[in-house]
């Protein structure tokens, strides 16, 4: 209430790449308005999907930038890979393309729905490959796989889509729904 906190306060140099994604991602995202407690978004094998909604100008894009920055600060590229899809004509994610983000497997500025669906196809392929690895190792989660294969590297994948609803517009709508529901 009576305190101000800077996002930079969360990004301590000692925290750079200090986290392991073995059990999931724990991403500092801001401070609570009551008491200034740090707020954390947990992304793990149980809570895997988040959708951020709000009116125009409510801060959704700022939150996405905070999450991208915080996640990439706390986890090394070996622990975390990000995919950034920007359907706002490059307005939001182009800043990451200028100074290449080492965590980025994809930075798509000015993406269209057809390209977005092809990215979903690629992610489904990765998911299928991982499921086959899990099955071959008698497990069903990244944490179980890595405990059985401690020398393997399997980063968590974090996908950020600005203007997600664009994937459900036009000719690609049915393909998008199919990809997200199978």
Q: Among all chains, which residue has been given the structure tokens 């590297």?
A: 153
* SS3 per residue for 86-138: ECCCCCCCHHHHHCCCCCEEEEECCCCHHHHHHHHHHHHHHHHHHHHHHHHCC
Q: Give the largest CA-CA distance in the chain.
A: 55
Say what the pLDDT of residue 1 is: 47
* More confident of the two residues 141 and 112: 141
Name the token pair of 39. 């707020």
Q: For CA atoms 52, 129, 78, 47, give the dihedral sign.
A: positive
Reported as a single tens digit per residue, the pLDDT across 104-119 is 998 887 778 888 888 8
pTM above 0.75, yes or no: yes
Count the helices and strands in the chain (H runs, E runs).
5, 5
What's the mean pLDDT when you consider all of the chain? 84
Reported as a single tens digit per residue, the pLDDT across 27-68 is 988 777 776 678 888 998 787 778 888 888 888 888 898 899
Name the token pair of 147. 């405990």
Say what the pLDDT of residue 136 is: 95
């Amino acid at each position: 209430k009576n305190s101000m906190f800077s996002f930079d306060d969360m990004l301590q140099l000692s925290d750079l790449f200090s986290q392991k994604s073995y059990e999931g991602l724990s991403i500092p995202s801001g401070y609570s308005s009551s008491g200034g407690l740090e707020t954390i978004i947990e992304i793990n094998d149980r809570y895997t999907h988040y959708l951020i909604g709000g009116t125009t100008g409510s801060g959704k894009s700022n939150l996405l930038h905070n999450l991208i920055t915080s996640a990439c600060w706390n986890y090394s590229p070996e622990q975390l890979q990000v995919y950034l899809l920007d359907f706002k004509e490059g307005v939001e994610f182009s800043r990451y393309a200028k100074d290449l983000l080492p965590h980025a497997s994809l930075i798509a500025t000015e993406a269209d729905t057809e390209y977005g669906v092809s990215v979903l196809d690629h992610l489904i392929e990765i998911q299928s490959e991982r499921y086959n690895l899990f099955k071959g190792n008698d497990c069903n989660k990244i944490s179980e796989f890595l405990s059985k294969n401690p020398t393997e590297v399997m980063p968590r994948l974090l996908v950020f889509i600005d203007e997600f609803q664009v994937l459900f517009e036009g000719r690609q709508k049915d393909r998008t729904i199919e990809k997200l529901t199978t």
